[in-house]
Amino acid sequence: MEQGSRVKTLGLSLSLLLAGALPALASTGSGEPAEFVNLTGTTLGIFALILFVAAYTLVIFEEKLHMRKSKPVMLAAGIIWVLVALAYAAIGDTHTPHVAIKANLIEYAELFLFLLAAMTYINAMDERNVFQALRSWLVGRGFTLRTVFWLTGLLAFIISPVADNLTTALLMGAVVMAVGGNNRKFMIVACINIVVGANAGGAFSPFGDITTLMVWQKGKVDFAEFFAIFVPSLLNWVIPAAIMSMSVAKERPEAMAEAIGMKVGAKRIMFLFLCTIITAVSFHNFLHLPPATGMMLGLGYLGFFSYYLKVKEHRLLKGGDQPLDIIGHNPDEHERPAPGHDHGGHGPLAGFDLFRKVARAEWDTLLFFYGVVLCVGGLGQFGYLAVTSHFMYTGLGATTANVMVGLLSAIVDNIPVMFAVLTMDPHMSHGQWLLVTLTAGVGGSLLSIGSAAGVALMGTARGIYTFGNHLKWSWAVALGYVASVICHLWINARHF
């Protein structure tokens, strides 16, 4: 992990420092060159860059320092915008920073509300034992190790477009750890397969990864157009999976008698989540409103249904039809049945509470995105993104640049990389926007530290799924990466 952190830090530092040494020329969304105020060589500009690199270094060493990743980037974001304001004030411009930071805040607000609604639904399904029931079903089937290898990878590819790659990787990783037992070799390749499958599945859906969500909300790719990279994404997973499966034995581990049922209302919550997705897509495609507003409407669906569940479970608890006393309601912290009670909602539960699901959202992650958006936006005001855009998309060409984005996302992180590309807004064909969406999504699979799915599994499968063990199979993952790029350039040639 330490080796991976040093590599990631070095890659980030080199990429951003390189940007500061390039000529000052921007590419606008219309494709025409536009002049900008180049402050990359100023003392304040250089200090802002160093501050961001330092903050992101602390993010990388989160597990070592036990400091939440949101804290350094939030601090850096605030200071960077102070530096932006001072730099522009020195040249007599106090208007530009104000307009720029408001634009960044609007972008973040849309992302925040969308993710908050999605995370609340995921937490609600988790509390209703949806994922635990799936896990117990897989563990109790008595499949061979090779079958489990393919099933967990396939499910990671299928589930991540609807949920997200992080949740999917943790769920499938739990299955692998439960089935694998002492078979370390199986668990290593199975975890790698899950990470690749989850990232590949998330690449062709706006809901599968933060990067695809940003691309969709920015209007660069429409909802249905994401499916144009389904086949390249599938190849990205199938090729390394086929190679790694050769090392998995066909032995059949002992079946585990672990039966967990879903709680009352679980299926209806899944249906409401599907309705919420349809609502968000309809808001974007037909009403031309931000998808986040549709997601918040969908959260309203869950809010009303949560009231029904709360009343129903309270009545079951009391054994009658008394009204629910909301005042003073203090359910158990995790809202889980006590040991020995059933999982169907008939135990001593205080009722389903929507706001507890909201509280359980990944607030560290949500605030981390705030820091990333404002840090990258601030560096953009100094001119770093414009000069990087000129170097990559004008100097190297769009195809080479977009392939490099995927490689860079394995070292740095695909979220700031993709946000930087969207902020640069280079003039590209539709096929190129699909390409960078694909590469940023699947490029993180090249290293264990390149995606949230990989980092999360390194934490839960500590000592088994490691940076070094993943690196041994990176050549197979790289073959899938190359194949997916070639496949996209071929089958989607009409979009270029």
3-state secondary structure of 27: strand
3-state secondary structure of 489: helix
Of the ranges 171-180, 349-358, 432-441, which one carries the lowest mean pLDDT score? 349-358
Indicate the pLDDT class of residue 339, thresholds 50, 70 and 90.
Answer: very low
Beta bridge partners of 33: 27
Rounded to an integer, the average pLDDT of 65-79 is 90
Indicate the pLDDT class of residue 442, thresholds 50, 70 and 90.
Answer: very high
The confidence score (pLDDT) of residue 1 equals 44
Task: Please list, in sequence order, all residues whose beta carbon lies within 8 angstroms of the beta carbon of residue 229, skipping any fewer than 6 positions away.
Answer: 203, 204, 434, 437, 438, 488, 492
Rounded to an integer, the average pLDDT of 452-460 is 78
Distance of alpha carbon 165 from alpha carbon 203, whole angstroms: 9
Indicate the pLDDT class of residue 153, thresholds 50, 70 and 90.
Answer: very high
Distance of alpha carbon 131 from alpha carbon 128, whole angstroms: 8
- The DSSP symbol for 183 reads -
- The more confident residue out of 5 and 54 is 54
From 114, 230, 89, select the one nearest 161 (Cα to Cα). 230
The confidence score (pLDDT) of residue 258 equals 66
Indicate the pLDDT class of residue 417, thresholds 50, 70 and 90.
Answer: confident
Q: Give the whole-number percent of the chain exceeding pLDDT 70.
A: 84
The confidence score (pLDDT) of residue 349 equals 43
Task: Please list, in sequence order, all residues whose beta carbon lies within 8 angstroms of the beta carbon of residue 236, skipping any fewer than 6 positions away.
Answer: 196, 200, 203, 438, 442, 445, 480, 481, 483, 484
Indicate the pLDDT class of residue 416, thresholds 50, 70 and 90.
Answer: confident
The confidence score (pLDDT) of residue 193 equals 96
Kindly tell me if the per-residue pLDDT of 200 is higher than 60.
Answer: yes
Look at the pTM and tell me if it is higher than 0.75.
no
Mean pLDDT computed over every residue of the chain:
81
Kindly tell me if the per-residue pLDDT of 202 is higher than 80.
Answer: yes
Rounded to an integer, the average pLDDT of 64-73 is 85
The confidence score (pLDDT) of residue 328 equals 33
Q: DSSP secondary structure string, 79-144?
A: HHHHHHHHHHHHTT--HHHHHHHHHHHHHHHHHHHHHHHHHHHHHHHHHTTHHHHHHHHHHTT---
Of the ranges 22-26, 193-197, 220-224, which one carries the lowest mean pLDDT score? 22-26
Rounded to an integer, the average pLDDT of 81-93 is 94
The confidence score (pLDDT) of residue 257 equals 65
The winner for highest mean pLDDT among 36-40, 267-271, 309-313 is 267-271
Kindly tell me if the per-residue pLDDT of 341 is higher than 70.
Answer: no
Rounded to an integer, the average pLDDT of 153-165 is 88
The confidence score (pLDDT) of residue 38 equals 83
Of the ranges 261-265, 334-338, 410-414, which one carries the lowest mean pLDDT score? 334-338
The confidence score (pLDDT) of residue 315 equals 65
Interstrand relation of 26-27 and 33-34 (parallel, antiparallel or unpaired): antiparallel
> CA neighbours within 13 Å on the CB side: how many for 361?
19
Task: Please list, in sequence order, all residues whose beta carbon lies within 8 angstroms of the beta carbon of residue 263, skipping any fewer than 6 positions away.
Answer: 127, 128, 129, 343, 344, 345
Rounded to an integer, the average pLDDT of 471-489 is 96
The confidence score (pLDDT) of residue 127 equals 87
From 147, 369, 379, select the one nearest 248 (Cα to Cα). 147
Beta bridge partners of 26: 34
3-state secondary structure of 34: strand
Q: What is the pLDDT of residues 272-329, one digit of tens each?
A: 999 998 998 899 888 989 888 999 999 999 999 998 888 887 765 665 444 333 333 3
Indicate the pLDDT class of residue 17, thresholds 50, 70 and 90.
Answer: very low
